[in-house]
Amino acid sequence: MPDAPGLELIAQELNDAHPGSVLETYHDRGQACLIVDPEQVLAVLGWLRDTPGQEYRFLASLHAADYLPAEPRFGVHYELLNMARVERIRVRAALHDPAAPGRGSSMESPEATAEGKVLGAGAEEAASLPVIDSCVEMFPTAEFQEREVYDFFGIVFRGHPDLRRILMPEEYVGWPQRRDFPVGGEPVIFTHNEREVPRWYE
């Protein structure tokens, strides 16, 4: 991974190429991380992938975190690898919660499918979800990982080819890995639970 001075050089070069794209950096516990403007995340990922000398061409992981009560509340994390150098760098897009008190949703409606359908529940709820551009065209392995982030955190990936729940039932209400999601409650009913239990299983 880049050392602390190397990370600062990367941030400076990125800001030269895409002004304002890198908001902050940190280098802690063996992690080199760029905190970036979510509106420029594709520009940052493309620069890290294609710029000679960088060439972080493998997306090892895409995941999210909820930092409630901190703001920006959400972070979408991209773990990139340069396989030739066996070098890793993390990119974190910091997303505000449009549904937070006092924050009107300033983002456009989260239309994320090829047909332009609003996802999930009603349009009112969809408008209150955080939105970020999908990187599936750049890194095809992100397709299912973005679906998982949407499923658990309610983060919409604009431009995703098939954004829908991947682990929870389609009719499930809520985002179970958000920090304000209630613990416990009714068990989740999946389709296979609705079938009659065979007698030999009793």
| Cα–Cα distance measured from residue 14 to residue 22, given in angstroms and rounded to the nearest whole number | 7
Name 9's bridge partners: none
Q: Are 18 and 44 in contact (CB under 8 A)?
A: yes
Question: Which phi and psi (to 5°) does residue 69 adopt?
Answer: -95, 10
Query: Beta strand 74-82 with 58-66: parallel, antiparallel or unpaired?
Result: antiparallel
| DSSP structure string for 53-80 | TT---EEEEEEEEE-TTSSS-EEEEEEE
Q: Are 182 and 161 in contact (CB under 8 A)?
A: no
Look at the chain and report how many structural domains it folds into. 1
In tens digits, what is the pLDDT along the chain, a chain of 202 residues?
788 888 999 999 999 999 999 999 998 777 899 999 999 999 999 999 999 999 999 999 999 999 999 999 999 999 999 999 999 999 999 999 998 876 654 444 444 443 344 445 455 566 789 999 999 999 999 999 999 999 999 999 999 999 999 999 988 889 999 999 887 766 666 665 555 555 544 4
CA separation for the pair 170, 168 (Å, rounded): 6
Which domain range does residue 166 map to?
A: 4-201
Structure-block tokens of residue 49: 């992938």
Domain CATH number, residue 108: 3.30.460.80
Rounded (10°) CA dihedral 166, 159, 149, 147: 10
Q: 181 with 175: CB under 8 angstroms?
A: yes
pTM: 0.83
| DSSP class of 40 | G
